[in-house]
Amino acid sequence: MQRFRFLLGLALTGFVSLASIGAAAENAPAAAILDFDVLTSVQYGHTDIYYHTPPGVTPVLARTKEIAPGQRVDLLLVVSRFATDAADRASVSYDLTVRYPDGRVQASTANVVAAQLKVQPHTLLFPRKLQAFATALTDPFGAYQFEVTVHDGVSGQSRTKTVSVEVANSNRPLPLPENFDANEWIARYYLRPEPRFALPALEALSRNPALLAKGVDGLGTILGFYGQVLVDNPWLLPWFKQWFLSSEGDERHLLALVFAHAQRINPAMTADLIFSSRKAVAAASRELPVHAGPPETSSQLDMLWGRFYAGGYFGPIEAMVEVVGHDLPYAGQLDAFRQLAHPPATPPPEVMKSALLNATLWSLRLNAAQHKLVRDYLGYLQQTPETPPAVKAALAGVLAWKPGAF
């Protein structure tokens, strides 16, 4: 990866600036002292965040210091100082040693970061293949030490750094903080992922009659969000299934819809439900529209936003920009339809595409105004050669929009 980066780390205990990493890369001579940083993260869209934001723009990565038993933590390695040979090639690898609280040791060696990779000045190296760790059922709670030794094949230097992650003594759901706002938590989840709030937050949402009154079409964001959270955190499933058994009313219905959506993503997630639960999920599944392919409704756009909120993923934003490109030829068709003296009862397809284009651009504007990462992803797509000029112009309008402007 040959991109100059300033990185910000966001810890669960507060903001941690890693801008010094970028400064080190900027000032590093060819044979500088080896340097790097290691982040522990449960923000599973981190690779998208690094690779799909424009060069020179500060991506926001979330750092964590505690995980639940069974929860996956990813180790993000950023090498900022390294030597290059006469052909401007870097050769960097690393060893990882995991030290368990009970004294056990697990090691992997010769992991490649760059193998004679030709680099530009001010490059930060970020391996595409990342190390991930999760405890097994028999592993102890407590502090796990991750010892990373980076080797510079050009200079012959090696350097070791250690980071620690605490594995909590339970993965059971956490009580919600006072004045907890479930909708706000979902929208900001990717910045501070805490999946142990997921089930209590869903219970809180089930007590919102205004939300439930919208029906399935108004639950797109919630379904998209929870489907992705359960994919990313399969260790949550037993808690959801246990809660489902004792739930009733609106809470049970909402849980059934979440399971029905998750089942479409991966049928294995609901394979072990008892008969009464499977029956409820089957009924909920019949309420969900059957759809495959690009979004065709605002509810399907909402599902994409839910997936984005669940991890900061690039894919949902890219999919919405593809909608813009597909439907731009129909811009203005909705306005023309509204001017008809006697419009048909069923709008023609080009009018529906125009309506979807308007909804997509509107949602992109609103979210870009609130989320730096959305702006960064759109900026990246705006600079990508593969993006058609007309779409780039539409994205420029999205990024220039300010709240209150119509």
DSSP 252-290: HHHHHHHHHHHHHH-GGGGTT--HHHHHHHHHHHHHSPP
Give the amino acid at 138.
Answer: T
Alpha helices, DSSP H only, in 89-208?
Answer: 182-188, 198-206
Backbone angles phi, psi at 324, to 5 degrees: -60, -50
CA–CA distances in Å: residue 282 to residues 202, 219, 265, 268, 395: 20, 18, 15, 14, 40
Which residue's entry shows tokens 């522990």? 40
pLDDT at 10: 31
pLDDT at 15: 32
Q: Where are the domains of the chain?
A: 7-167, 182-287, 314-400
Instruction: Compute the residue count for the chain.
Output: 406
Burial class (CB in 10 A: 0-12, 13-18, 19+), 29: exposed
Topology at the third CATH level for domain 7-167:
Immunoglobulin-like (2.60.40)
**SS3 label, residue 216:** helix
How far out from the chain centre does Cα 363 lie? 18
Q: Which residues pair with 73 in a beta bridge?
A: 133
pLDDT at 152: 96
- CB-CB contact of 250 with 207 (8 Å): yes
Give the Cβ contact number of residue 112 at 10 Å: 13
Q: How many helices (H) and strands (E) does the chain have?
A: 15, 11
Cα gap 183→50, rounded to integer Å: 26
Q: Give the single-character DSSP code of 126.
A: -
pLDDT at 22: 52
Helix (H) or strand (E) holding 7: strand 7-11
pLDDT at 122: 78
Cα gap 47→25, rounded to integer Å: 19
pLDDT at 286: 94
Which residue's entry shows tokens 């809180």? 204
Q: Which residues pair with 81 in a beta bridge?
A: 35
Lookup: tokens for 45: 């869209």
Question: Which residues does the chain have with pLDDT short of 70?
Answer: 1-32, 58, 404-406
The predicted model scores a pTM of: 0.89
Burial class (CB in 10 A: 0-12, 13-18, 19+), 398: buried
